[in-house]
Structure 1
Amino acid sequence: HPLVTRSIESAQKKVEGRNFEIRKQLLDFDNEMEYQRKVIYEQRRMVLESKDVKEHVLEMVKDTIENILKNYTNKEIYPEEWDWSGLKDHFMQIFSISLVIPKEEIPKLSIPKLQDILTEKAFEIYELREKEFTPPLMRQIETMIVLRVVDREWKDNLRRLDELKQGIGLRAYGQKDPLMEYHFEAHNMFQEMINSIKEEVVKFIYKVRLKKEESQGVRQARRETPAPIVSSQTKKSPFVKRKGLEEEEGQKKKKIGRNDPCPCGSGLKYKHCCGKNI
């Protein structure tokens, strides 16, 4: 019937149109993830191809200090009212450096001046660590740390993006465009990830310690020295020792009669054997 046919065609077009919109929306979601992926992979490629990531790491140090100051200082209030306790704790946590600012100097400080002081101190400690490890080893450590932190943070970010995508459709009930909300939230999450990468890299670099290895001669001597041979007679067991003591004490307590069999096992009477001279 023509009426039924037109109804079926109309319903089919609606379904196809809806499916197209769903696919288009998913593609828009994926475009955001693809953009972030390109940025991260470009960073990884730069680190892998670079022979010297020191400049990159020092930029991370400066950015980390700037982000820390944003949390504890405010240009709208006097320096004496800044959160100095929180600033010192956070600085110690990341750089393992005790921040000491004389009280009389605090009123004279501005945020840029304080940032210069902290950056200079952090760079000074960095140079000392580089001398301690030697520059070639320091470059290897930096590369390893950057790659590990980037990979870990990127995996966590992918998981968070999936969770965001699954629940973002509910924003439509609040008269909000889910796609716009997704882009906004995903962008903020990406910026948080970038800042977290910088802070984690800096923290690891300032806290890493190398184990002191044994010298080659000590290791060779350790390999050549045979393991001590312990015979069954020399093995000590608290249970055997305790049993022997109990038997010895029992023998002391029990008196052997002269006509009793000799305890040595000869079959003779005690008075004709071990007790002959007693």
Structure 2
Amino acid sequence: MIFHPGAKPDYNVRCFLICNPTTRTFKSILPCSERKWTDSGLLYGFGYDIEHDDYKIIVTKFVFAEDDRPVCIYSLKTGLWSWTDLPTSVSTGRCNWTIIGEAIYVNNMLHYLVTHEYKYFKIARFDIVSEKWRDDLNLPVQVSGYVQFGNLDGRLFLNVGEYKIVSSDVWMMEEYGSWKKMFHFSLDLFGRCPIARSKDGCDHRLLIRDEGDDTAEFFWYDQRDNTRIPFKLERSGRTGLYELCIASLVAIPGGCSLTKLQQLEDGA
């Protein structure tokens, strides 16, 4: 499944789209009617509740503040929105924590890289099944400069580097809760985004996204000999949005065909 928040130019959410590109069906969902959730400054996550066979949209604010209820949850099965509280580690503190980047779905949980004034970092975790916050995950190394957070081959990764020496190390969670340093990026790869790992048994090979001003190019990077192999994608004429997904025939309740979605986009 692919999830995308449709937005107006002012970044207020107009609707959510859940799409299955294999069956070419989608479902549009209206945002929560609470007024405070129509403002900008929100982050959107999407995950599967394996215990209840349900897909859920998780909306939270970029800044975790005390005396706030910053998480709104939509259940595709019930069609209802609900609320939950802050993670204990944030609500009991005396400072605000800011989310960096996207919500990453791994191991039935959404993961958020959060920071306090870019001095302290940790990973907050929201359990999709229980709809509760779990204990934070610690980072494998101290972050004092550049950091990326994402999903590689279904596992969490951190790309941590120093601006002064212009290099970074990619850490992967080989077993959940256990980090391992897998790659080293030197000057020519600094700041590039790894998006997939080779499926042919070559742990040393990564698919890298190299973004320009308006486009994104891809290449395979082999750490053994520091070589690059171009990776070509057929383009639909649009740039800027790429998703990796596993083919599935899961039906979307009340879904429509992508032909209808194209008609809606053309008429927007």
Indicate whether the TM-score tops 0.5: no
TM-score by length of 2: 0.21
Q: Between Structure 1 and Structure 2, which shows a larger proportion of helix residues?
A: 1
If you compute each CA radius of gyration, which structure gives the higher value, 1 or 2? 1
Q: Relative contact order (C-alpha < 8 Å, sep 6+): which is higher?
A: 1
